[in-house]
Structure 1
Amino acid sequence: MNISIDVQEQEKQTTIKLAGEIDAYTAPKLRETAFPYTEKEEADIVIDLSGVTYMDSTGLGVFVGLFKSLNANNGTMKLIGLSDRLKRLFDITGLADIMNINSGSEGGV
């Protein structure tokens, strides 16, 4: 169970590209890497999930935490590149109603 996290900062936007599985084993690494970016005032974060093959509830919890941290600091988060399976996961949990989600790899960064 591995996860690859690639962070690119360009001017005011931070893009975090993920690949692999987001589960109880890899979620702490994702949280540790991504949270510092959410604590900046008015951060603009794009998370590319096009390389994610699996995500469980632990992964969803990380995204909820990131979302809350960004909201507290007047920041924004956009999720792009969701597979149909991941999109469904966000839909079922109701997170798709509160988070900015663009499915498909063309997500519009």
Structure 2
Amino acid sequence: MNQNVRHLDDGVAVLSLGGKLNMVSAPAVRESIAGLVAGGSSRVVVNLEGVEFLDSSGLGALISGLKSTRQAGGDLRIAAPGEQVRLVLRLTNMERVLVPFETAEEAFARA
């Protein structure tokens, strides 16, 4: 799994992922989000544009990140999920908790 972090002008950290977010890559994603929060970035957008596959372990990593950002007084939002990721969110009813935004920039613009 490829990971890249950038920061928007308003202090939001954007974690862009590429590849498969599954049981193999989920721990690294969980650690990346925890590292961002520990570094003072409590508002995190996970850009899923490059994620071709999401399983329950990957979803668990996102939920873990959501919990850690909220405990730090922030939030975690997702951006640009593909069809397979959207399907997993729908089937698990997680689209209500992890509302997808079209772009990382939009994720906190309406906050």
Map of 1:7 onto structure 2: 5
Matches within 5 A, 1:43-58: 43-58=42-57
Give, in angstroms, the shift of residue 42 of structure 1: 6.9
Is the contact made by 2:3 and 2:18 (CA closer than 8 Å) also made in structure 1?
Answer: yes
TM-score, normalised to structure 1's length?
Answer: 0.84
SS at 2:100 equivalent: strand
Deviations 1:4-25 (A, max 9, x none): 0001123411011100011111
Give, in angstroms, the shift of residue 39 of structure 1: 4.1
Give, in angstroms, the shift of residue 107 of structure 1: 2.2
Structure 1: which 5+ residue stretches go unaligned?
Answer: none
CA distance in 1, matches of 2:32, 2:92: 24
Q: How many percent identity over aligned positions?
A: 20
SS at 2:30 equivalent: helix
Aligned residues: CA RMSD:
1.8
CA distance in 2, matches of 1:92, 1:50: 19
CA distance in 1, matches of 2:88, 2:73: 26
Map of 2:29 onto structure 1: 30
CA distance in 1, matches of 2:20, 2:66: 20
Map of 2:15 onto structure 1: 16
Map of 1:78 onto structure 2: 77
Is the contact made by 1:21 and 1:53 (CA closer than 8 Å) also made in structure 2?
Answer: yes
Q: Which has the higher strand share?
A: 1
Moved over 2 A (4+): 38-42
| Alignment equivalent of 1:107, drawn from 90, 103, 107 | 103
CA distance in 1, matches of 2:27, 2:51: 16
SS at 1:24 equivalent: coil
Is the contact made by 2:69 and 2:76 (CA closer than 8 Å) also made in structure 1?
Answer: yes
Structure 2: which 5+ residue stretches go unaligned?
Answer: 106-111
**Number of paired residues?**
104
Is the contact made by 1:23 and 1:55 (CA closer than 8 Å) also made in structure 2?
Answer: yes
